[in-house]
Chains A and B, each alone.
Chain A
Amino acid sequence: MMQEGLDDGPDFLSEEDRGPRAVNVDLQTDATLQVDISDALSERDKVKFTVHTKSTLPNFKQNEFSVVRQHEEFIWLHDSFVENEEYAGYIIPPAPPRPDFDASREKLQKLGEGEGSMTKEEFTKMKQELEAEYLAIFKKTVAMHEVFLCRVAAHPVLRKDMNFHVFLEYNQDLSVRGKNKREKMEDFFKNVVKSADGVLVAGVKDVDDFFEHEKTFLLEYHNRVKDASSKSDRMIRSHKSVADDINRIASTLYTLGTQDSTDVCKFFLKVSELFEKTRKIEARVAADEDLKLADLLKYYLRESQAAKDLLYRRGRALVDYENANKALDKARAKNKDVLQAETSQQVCCQKFEKISESAKQELIDFKTRRVAAFRKNLVELAELELKHAKGNLQLLQSCVGVLKGDT
């Protein structure tokens, strides 16, 4: 397949990707620990990310180092956070989605099969576009993996996690394999149980207003983000189709224009050129909408799920606490196993309170981050849309001017 370095892309994507690549979240870049993905390689089925760390923390052997990681290792890291009881009170940064080049690969294959039925120019053109698309997907997946790491590095507690440090530093393969079938089935059942439980837990009304409000809010918000995310995807896909059609119109006009050298043929050639340029802009508009809007919504879909998970854990702890209270009362009434019940209750209480404390802060931070991310992306979206519309406008104006002048 294609081996692409990160930075040689068609210019229409590269311009916003300088600097902190965390386009979706607003993070403080802290000098004590800076993580980024400096390079990536796409090989057959796998993508290999070069994770680059710069740190002044004493835990690490060096101040600056890099390792190569694959997607499964990110998932492993994420899962280790989720399974760690200590972190129950935090919003675990959502795992990056698996790199999915299937659609792109399919298209490239179809193109290869259809090579005979189109002219050489058409073929080269389409190939270039597909390569650009592939590159875009590639860049996105890199960005999403990077955002995950940055979120972890920015979190006051998670950044100290041992597994995280191993992930960053250990320059051998972590021998983390993807889950096999059985494990996947186990996961599936776990999820079923969890969601059933989640419903039960959510049904328990919380005494605390703040959390009760958050629960209702997050539920609704999550659903609406999900909806908006899928609708934005569809809209952007239509937009890309329109750009593709304009491309084909440009090609056909070009053919018409080269048939002769009459007036009208020259006219066609000029119009064809115009359409070539406008469709590039249209494609960029679609790509920018994808990056700034669709990706934003997708990310907050995952984050809001992570926030819901936090609430669930707290809810679970609350239920456990209440059950422990009831058990203690029962024990005291029967005067049997009281100590045990007391300890149990204590544990539950502590757990619950610990979670509640950090959860509150986490949820507030979540809100702040969310507002900041939306602001950043919406502003950038508007600025880019404006830029492209103006560019288009200028192209059209100058072309119409020329064409009218000629006739």
Chain B
Amino acid sequence: MAASSPRNPPPLRGAENQDPLSEMADEDSDEGEDIFVGNSNPVAESFQPDTANGEEPADLFSEEETSTAVNSSITTFKSNGVHSDNENDLFAEVSVELSMENPSTTAKTSGAEFTPSLTLSATQPRSMEQVGYNRTSATQPRSMEQLEEEKDEDSFDMDVAVTNPEKIGDGMNAYMAYKVSTRTTLPMFRNRTFSVWRRFSDFLGLYEKLSVKHSLNGCIIPPPPEKSVVGMTKVKVGKEDSSSADFVERRRAALERYLQRVVCHPSLLQDPDVREFLERDELPRAVGTHTLSGAGFLKMINRASDAVSKMTIKISYSDAWFDNKLQEVESEDLQLRKLHAVVDSLVNHRKELCGNTAVFAKSMAMLGNSEDNTALSRALSQLAEVEDKMETLHQEQAASDFFILAELLADYIRLLGAVRGCFEQRMKTWQRWQEAQSTLQKKREVEAKLLWANKPDKLQQAKEEITEWEGKVTQYERDFDRISVTVRKEFLRFEKEKSKDFKSQIVKYLESLLQSQQRLVMFWEAFLPEAKAIA
């Protein structure tokens, strides 16, 4: 068991390292601090969920906790040793490997590949958590084998919200700060609820970091909301009108959805950058997000060349599943864009209707005033009031149209872009493998020629190169297989999420329409007797 593992305890940890483990093995898990205890058993065996019910996700992470000999501040049931006061990213290299072996948690200090004893797999071990989207399928923690198999049942206990936009500073250097609040029971965090202040560039910075790390694996990384010079300038300049308020609200909602998608993603949630983003009080300014950063620029170039190479690849390569899916994605993208344009038009027309109704209401009121028949005059004034109420109705409906429908579509158009990036990444990997193969072939030809020309010294070098390239070919092939698996898995996950998202949002939208109609009925029912009373 852990006790015997020859690891170096991380510097800050006491020497209790080993002991707690051995002790805990037999203890009851009900004591406050020892919540971690009971679960430390299942290191090499089935994970016993004896203490675990939906609310104590600690189990999975407890092992690290104990092994890292948490420092004393463990009274509150917390993270598993990710003490960010010492800046080493303890989970810097969380790998995707699933290990049933001894917790070799030396990773903390050694920075080596960390194979957590308890299935800290890239797919978030299910059981317990609920993601901010109000998904409520909480399942019990199972055995490790079961955990591995239940790949698709996501239930997280994690709520992220972005609120309280505040303007900091003045003039052109001003910026909006947003409060990012997290509520979670995941042990990898220090507290259960906490909040930090972040600005827009921080969100972009997070995206850049995640991109750099994960896009090569074929992960679908949720894209952040777009920058808007115009919108922000208005805010900076201090224009206190409804359009800048709208802009801020729109951005806040978009940032919230963005974060929710990130924490919803099992592998991304594990990323220390994400945790840092959520937890750390002061984040270093993300650089390069206000101009085309070097990385961004490179990306652009890559994308361009990819497009070209993609054309040639398509001919020679075909994998039905991926091809089909890519095609689907592309045609869906087209339709979504179309739909988004129409919804935009709807929003505008409804806003127009709103304005025209208000103007008409006033006009009716005036007419009612001039009318000298008392009952008719009153009825006309009432009609003016009904129209006034309709104006409010239309305004709210336009907001629904926008925030529920239009933004949903905009999000998914961007997400589909990310999905395509994923597929492209896979193509690149394939290409690299193919190129390596052809290089290998060339090297072999060179060797053959050398053999024939009988130049022993160069032959040696040639042989070395061949071995090198053989290695590369094998590795690239493996890479390609791996990324294919990831992309496939990511895509399926994405489809599921998309399906859920669309369904829930559209139902929400329909419900808003429903409410409007109910209110309409109320208004006209109130008016009818007034109209009938005209004499």
Contacts and interface: CB of A to CB of B under 8 A. Distances in A.
Contact of A224 (B366, B375, B518): B366
A246 B346 contact: yes
A407 interface: yes
Given A225-B367, A231-B359, A263-B499, A375 B531 contact: yes
Interface in B477-518: 495, 498-499, 502-504, 506-507, 510-511, 513-514, 517-518
Interface stretch (A84-92, A187-195, A253-261): A253-261
B332 A235 contact: no
A136 interface: no
Interface in A196-233: 217, 220-221, 224-225, 227-228, 231-232
A220 B339 CA distance: 47
Chain A interface helix/strand/loop/mixed: helix
A378 B383 contact: yes
A178 B31 CA distance: 101
A382 interface: yes
B521 A389 contact: yes
Interface in A234-252: 234-235, 237-239, 241-242, 245-246, 248-249, 252
B379 to A, nearest CB: 6
A252 B338 contact: yes
B367 A245 contact: no
B525 A386 contact: yes
B527 interface: yes
A383 B528 contact: yes
Contact of B534 (A260, A375, A381, A399): A375
A49 to B, nearest CB: 32
Contacts of A130: none
Interface string B352-377: 11001101100110110111110110
Contacts of B338: 252
Contacts of B335: 252, 255-256, 259
Q: How large is the interface on B (under 10, 10 to 19, 20 to 34, 35 or more residues)?
A: 35 or more
B499 A264 contact: yes
A242 B349 contact: yes
Given A231-B363, A382-B531, A396-B513, A371 B373 contact: yes
Contacts of B380: 374
Interface residues of A, number: 57
A105 to B, nearest CB: 23
A98 interface: no
A381 B528 CA distance: 9
Contacts of A379: 528, 531-532
Contact of B524 (A245, A264, A274, A382): A382
Contact of A231 (B339, B360, B373, B510): B360
A367 interface: yes
Contacts of B502: 264, 267-268
B520 interface: yes
A192 B267 CA distance: 81
A385 B520 contact: yes
B28 interface: no
A157 interface: no
A393 interface: yes
A4 B366 CA distance: 40
A397 interface: yes
Interface string A365-407: 0010011001100110111011001101100110110011001
Contacts of A249: 339, 342-343, 346
A235 B360 contact: yes
B152 interface: no
B339 A256 contact: yes
7 contacts: A221-B370, A271-B510, A374-B376, A375-B531, A378-B531, A382-B527, A389-B517
Given A228-B367, A371-B534, A400-B511, 14 more contacts: A235-B359, A235-B360, A238-B356, A245-B343, A245-B345, A249-B343, A252-B342, A256-B335, A259-B332, A278-B513, A371-B375, A379-B528, A393-B518, A400-B514
Interface of B: 328, 331-332, 335-336, 338-339, 342-343, 345-346, 349-350, 352-353, 356-357, 359-360, 363-364, 366-367, 369-373, 375-376, 379-380, 383, 495, 498-499, 502-504, 506-507, 510-511, 513-514, 517-518, 520-521, 524-525, 527-528, 531-532, 534-535
Interface of A: 217, 220-221, 224-225, 227-228, 231-232, 234-235, 237-239, 241-242, 245-246, 248-249, 252-253, 255-256, 259-260, 262-264, 267-268, 271, 274, 278, 367, 370-371, 374-375, 378-379, 381-383, 385-386, 389-390, 392-393, 396-397, 399-400, 403-404, 407
